[in-house]
Amino acid sequence: MATLKALVVDDASFVRDLVKRTIRQRFPVIETTDAQNGRRAQSLMSRGMFDLILCDWEMPEMSGLELLQWMRQQPQYEKVPFIMITSRGDKSHVIEAVKEGVSEYLGKPFSPDGLSKKIIKVMGSTLTTAMGQSGKSMAGPADAFKESAALLTQKREPAPAQESQPTPTAGALVPQSAEVPKPTMAKGAMSLASIRFADSTLKSVVKDINLTEVRVIAKRDQTFPGILDQAVVDIETGEGQMARLNGYVHQLQAVDKRKDADFVSVTIRFVDEDPKKMEDLSRFIARFRAGKR
């Protein structure tokens, strides 16, 4: 029986399901509730009490940072653990979150093991005691991501065009993805993209892109992910703005019909449901297609 309660906050239902599945499999004493943005999370937190908050940074209506700021002003939530799970990994944002009272920071993409370690770290004896009283151990399934294949392959309608990481002490918390490679727009139709996975980063060239997926070409001498692996696509959308799009690996294919092909085509399906990200992506797509003419 669950004795602890966690609130999972992210605008992408795929990510919420991924986090909830990992918690359910590895920590059966934790009951999960989810919210699609900070405003909804604030409403749920005002009506009930949660022992752990796992929250994305970039969300419509109310961001993760705004939710954290509000939460730390509430006496009942002043010391409740808050884990920020986000693709925003630059050091300045980490320091900003630390100053506002974040408990831990987990960069996307993350592994079930990475998420589990953060939960164990911030909940400490509270979680250990609850697991002990229930007769459960901390051990969980080998990989909760592989059990999420059904979630990953569900049909998704196009959106409208509109980590071993340090302890969170001010000035010291730097996530695994703190130094995110910055892709740049090249001349003509060529656009570079960095695709981040839990344990590697793939340098690639964008060949085609729409609001639901991107197809890139990458040299074979790099470390490649597996089908269904979680990914974050970093693309410069213009004027110094960076789009960090969450997704998963949908397809891997050799570019040439040769066993020794030098290039591999990788298709990433997007899972973000944030209208702002879709607007940024729409602008990039327009520029990308204009450059191909």
Distance of alpha carbon 277 from the chain centroid = 14
Same domain? 128 vs 52 = yes
Same domain? 135 vs 197 = no
% of the chain with per-residue pLDDT over 90: 50
pLDDT at 89: 66
Same domain? 32 vs 131 = yes
What's the domain range around 44?
A: 4-152
Cβ 5 vs Cβ 30: under 8 Å: yes
pLDDT at 159: 40
Same domain? 118 vs 208 = no
Given a cut of 50, whether residue 185 has pLDDT beyond it is no
Same domain? 143 vs 11 = yes
Q: Say if 175 falls within a structural domain.
A: no
CATH number at residue 91: 3.40.50.2300
Determine which of 110-124, 141-155, 200-214 has the lowest per-residue pLDDT on average.
Answer: 141-155
Rounded mean pLDDT of 200-226?
93
Cβ 285 vs Cβ 211: under 8 Å: yes
Domain-ending residue, one of 152, 180, 203: 152
Same domain? 139 vs 246 = no
C-alpha distances (whole Å) from 123 to each of 42, 55, 258 are 21, 15, 51
Query: Please, is 6 exposed, middle or buried when counting C-beta atoms within 10 Å of its C-beta (0-12, 13-18, 19+)?
Result: buried
Rounded mean pLDDT of 224-235?
89
pLDDT at 176: 42
Long-range own/partner contacts, residues 111-117 (CB < 8 A, 24 or more apart) = 111/145, 111/163, 111/198, 111/199, 112/22, 112/25, 112/26, 112/140, 112/141, 112/143, 112/144, 112/145, 114/163, 114/164, 114/198, 115/19, 115/22, 115/85, 116/22, 116/26, 116/27, 116/140, 117/164
Same domain? 148 vs 201 = no
Residue 1: pLDDT band with limits 50, 70, 90 = low
pLDDT at 182: 45
Q: Say if 135 falls within a structural domain.
A: yes
Cα-based torsion angle of the residue sequence 229, 230, 233, 234 in order, rounded to the nearest 10 degrees: -120
pLDDT tens digits, one per residue of 125-134: 999 898 888 7
Same domain? 28 vs 147 = yes
C-alpha to C-alpha distance for 251 and 272, rounded to whole angstroms: 18
Same domain? 11 vs 76 = yes
The pair of structure tokens assigned to 114 is: 């990475």
pLDDT tens digits, one per residue of 246-287: 999 999 999 988 888 899 999 999 988 778 888 888 888 988
Determine which of 206-210, 218-222, 265-269, 280-284 has the lowest per-residue pLDDT on average.
Answer: 280-284
Q: Say if 31 falls within a structural domain.
A: yes
pLDDT tens digits, one per residue of 67-99: 999 999 999 999 999 999 988 766 777 888 889
Residue 238: pLDDT band with limits 50, 70, 90 = low
Same domain? 92 vs 224 = no
Question: Average pLDDT over the chain, rounded to whole?
Answer: 81
Same domain? 139 vs 207 = no
Q: Say if 277 falls within a structural domain.
A: yes
Domain-ending residue, one of 152, 182, 212: 152
Cβ 174 vs Cβ 166: under 8 Å: yes
The pair of structure tokens assigned to 166 is: 């340090």
Given a cut of 80, whether residue 175 has pLDDT beyond it is no
C-alpha to C-alpha distance for 121 and 103, rounded to whole angstroms: 9
State residue 279 phi and psi, 5-degree precision. Answer: -65, -45
Residue 217 in 3-state DSSP? strand
Q: Say if 84 falls within a structural domain.
A: yes
pLDDT at 184: 41
% of the chain with per-residue pLDDT over 70: 78
Tally of domains in the chain: 2
Q: Say if 172 falls within a structural domain.
A: no
**Closest listed residue to residue 106, CA positions, set 122, 124, 118:** 118
Same domain? 145 vs 26 = yes
Q: Say if 33 falls within a structural domain.
A: yes
Rounded mean pLDDT of 185-206?
78
Residue 137: pLDDT band with limits 50, 70, 90 = low
CATH number at residue 253: 2.40.10.220
Determine which of 32-36, 52-56, 60-64 has the lowest per-residue pLDDT on average.
Answer: 60-64
Given a cut of 90, whether residue 178 has pLDDT beyond it is no
Cβ 4 vs Cβ 30: under 8 Å: yes
The pair of structure tokens assigned to 271 is: 């899972």
Given a cut of 50, whether residue 21 has pLDDT beyond it is yes
Domain-ending residue, one of 152, 178, 212: 152
**Closest listed residue to residue 236, CA positions, set 182, 289, 277:** 182
The pair of structure tokens assigned to 228 is: 């269904």
Q: Say if 222 falls within a structural domain.
A: yes
Give rounded-to-5 percent helix, strand, coil for the chain.
30, 25, 40
